[in-house]
Amino acid sequence: MSLWRSPRLLCKRGQVTERPDDPTTIDHGTLDPVELPSAPAAARRYLDLLKGCLTRELFIDEEVREVVWWPANVGLGEPKAVWDILESRGWLLVRPTTAPGERTEGRDYPPRAETMVGRSRLDNVEELIQHVLADDIPGDLVETGIWRGGTVIFMRAVLEAYGDSERTVWACDSFEGLPVPDEERYPVDAALRIEGNESMAPGQQFLMRELLAVPAEKVRANLARYGYDDDRVRLVEGWFSDTLPTAPIEEIALLRLDGDLYESTIDALVHLEPKVSPGGFVVIDDYNSIEACEAAVTDYRADNGIVDPIHEIDWTGVWWRKRAR
Ligand SMILES: C[S@@+](CC[C@H](N)C(=O)[O-])C[C@H]1O[C@@H](n2cnc3c(N)ncnc32)[C@H](O)[C@@H]1O
C-alpha cells in the first residue's frame, strides 16, 4: 500500500455496495461475454511474466527496501550519525520488503518496481484492452499519472501481444510528482496533508511528493528496458491543467486515471473523458482509497449525467464503460 494511502492519512472504505449520493450501483460485474481476441500461448505467458516483473511480485522474496533517515525514525533511536557513516562509505541500510500479498494487491510503495498498481489492476488493463480490440472501439490508450511508467509499458505490451499495430499509448505526467494542492479551489485535496509535517514548507507537506517525481529520462529508460521506446508510446509532459486541454490526443478507447488528487482527477476527466469513444472505458485507480479522487469522479459524473455502472477491480480501482450518449 502506498504510504499516502495509509489508513492513518486517508479514509479507506470497506466494502461499499451502494452510495446514496451516486445513482449508480457499485458492483463486481463483469463485461458482456464476447469472443475475445486470442494471443499465442507464448504471448500470454509473456504478459503474465511481465505482470510479475513490472510489479516485482516475482522477486519479492529477494527485495530489500532502503531505510532512509527521516525525523520520524529518530524516535526509533537511530541517530543521523549512523546514516552519515553509512553514506560516507557508500553503504545503505536496508530491510526486507513488504509482505507478498501487499504487492500483489498494489498496496505498498515498491522500491524498484516500475508500477505500484498490483496484479489485479494489470489484469484489468489487459481485460479491458481485449474488449476494446474485440469490439473494435476506436481510439488510443491513455494513462494520466504514470510514475515510473509500468502500467504504460504493460498497455503497450498488451497491444503487441494481441497483434494491434495501430494504437498509441499516451503517458501523461508532470514527471515532477504531484502539484502543490490548490486548497482554495479544491479544499478536499488538503486532506492529503501528512500529519506532523506542519513545520515543513507548504510544497513538501503533501503526500510523498518527491517519491512520486520520476524524471522523463528515467521513464524513457524504463520503456527502453522493455523494448518499448518507440513512437507508439508518447509522453505528454507537464501539469495536467497545462497539457491536457491541448494534448494532441484525438480519440480514446481506454482512459486510465491515476493522479490521486481531486485536481488531477477532475482535470483529466474534463479534458479527456469527452474524447472516450462510445463503448470505451474509464478506469479510476484511486477511487476507493482517496476521498478526493472519488469526490472528483462523483462531481464529474453528476455534472455530466453519467450513470454508467461503476465496477470494482479491487480494494481501490474501479472502471465504467461509456455508453453511447
Ligand atoms: C500514483 S502515481 C501513478 C502510478 C502509476 N500509474 C503506476 O503504474 O505505478 C501518480 C502520478 O501522477 C502524477 N500526477 C499527479 N497529479 C498530476 C498533475 N496534476 N499533473 C501531472 N502529473 C500529475 C505524479 O507525478 C505521479 O507520477
Q: Atom of ligand 1 at shortest distance to CA of 256?
A: 6
Other C-beta atoms closer than 10 Å to the C-beta of 50 total 21
Residue in this structure with the C-alpha cell 518499448, named with its chain if needed: 228
C-alpha cell at 114: 516500475
pLDDT at 93: 83
pLDDT at 233: 98
Q: Does the CB atom of residue 295 touch ligand 1 within 6 A?
A: no
What is the rounded CA–CA span in Å between residue 183 and residue 185?
A: 6
Does the pLDDT value for residue 23 go beyond 80? Answer: no
Q: Does the CB atom of residue 261 touch ligand 1 within 6 A?
A: yes
pLDDT category, 73, cuts 50, 70, 90? low
Q: Does the CB atom of residue 144 touch ligand 1 within 6 A?
A: no
Q: Which of 5-9, 98-102, 138-142, 207-211 has the highest mean pLDDT?
A: 138-142
pLDDT at 3: 35
- The three state secondary structure string of the chain is CCHHHCCCCCCCCCCCCECCCCCCEEECCCCCCCCCCCCCHHHHHHHHHHHHHHCCHHHHHHCEEECCCCHHHHCCCCCHHHHHHHHHCCCCCEEECCCHHHHHCCCCCCCCCCCCCHHHHHHHHHHHHHHHHHCCCCCEEEEECCCCCHHHHHHHHHHHHCCCCCCCEEEEECCCCCCCCCCCCCHHHHHHECCCCCCCCHHHCECCCCCCCCCHHHHHHHHHHCCCCCCCEEEEECCHHHHHHHCCCCCEEEEEECCCCHHHHHHHHHHHHHHEEEEEEEEECCCCCCHHHHHHHHHHHHHCCCCCCEEECCCCCEEEECCCC
**How does pLDDT run across 223-239, given as a tens digit for each residue?**
999 999 999 999 999 99
pLDDT at 97: 81
For residue 143, the cross-strand partners are 171, 256
Distances (CA, A) of 6 to 109, 195, 206, 222, 262: 11, 12, 13, 27, 18
Q: Atom of ligand 1 at shortest distance to CA of 147?
A: 27
Q: Please give the model's pTM, rounded to 2 decimal places.
A: 0.87
Q: Does the CB atom of residue 147 touch ligand 1 within 6 A?
A: yes
Quick one: angle between helices 150-161 and 216-225, nearest 10?
A: 30
**How does pLDDT run across 89-132, given as a tens digit for each residue?**
999 888 888 677 888 899 988 999 999 999 999 999 999 999 99
Does the pLDDT value for residue 18 go beyond 50? Answer: no
Of 4, 144, 314, the one to substitute when testing ligand 1's pocket (max ligand atoms within 8 A of C-beta) is 144
For residue 320, the cross-strand partners are 282
pLDDT at 11: 31
**Torsion from C-alpha of 229, 231, 233, 235, nearest 10 degrees:** 100
For residues 302-317, average pLDDT: 97
Q: Does the CB atom of residue 272 touch ligand 1 within 6 A?
A: no
Q: How far is the CA of 194 from the centre of ligand 1 (A)?
A: 18
pLDDT at 152: 98
Mean pLDDT of the chain: 85
Does the pLDDT value for residue 203 go beyond 90? Answer: no
pLDDT category, 87, cuts 50, 70, 90? confident
C-alpha cell at 186: 479544491
For residues 290-315, average pLDDT: 96
Does the pLDDT value for residue 39 go beyond 90? Answer: no
Q: Does the CB atom of residue 316 touch ligand 1 within 6 A?
A: no
Backbone torsions φ then ψ of 138, nearest 5 degrees:
-70, 145
pLDDT at 83: 78
Protein residue with least CA distance to atom 6, ligand 1: 146
Backbone torsions φ then ψ of 169, nearest 5 degrees:
-105, 120
Does the pLDDT value for residue 307 go beyond 80? Answer: yes
Enumerate domains of the chain plus CATH numbers.
3-61+105-321 (3.40.50.150), 64-97 (no CATH)
**How does pLDDT run across 152-200, given as a tens digit for each residue?**
999 999 999 999 999 999 999 999 998 888 888 998 988 766 544 445 5
pLDDT category, 315, cuts 50, 70, 90? very high
Q: 226 and 157 in contact (C-beta within 8 Å)?
A: yes
Q: Residue 70's closest CA among 85, 88, 82, 53?
A: 82
Q: How far is the CA of 176 from the centre of ligand 1 (A)?
A: 9
pLDDT at 86: 86
Residue in this structure with the C-alpha cell 498496496, named with its chain if needed: 107
Protein residue with least CA distance to atom 5, ligand 1: 146
pLDDT at 276: 98
What is the rounded CA–CA span in Å between residue 201 and residue 230?
A: 39
What is the rounded CA–CA span in Å between residue 59 and residue 262?
A: 34
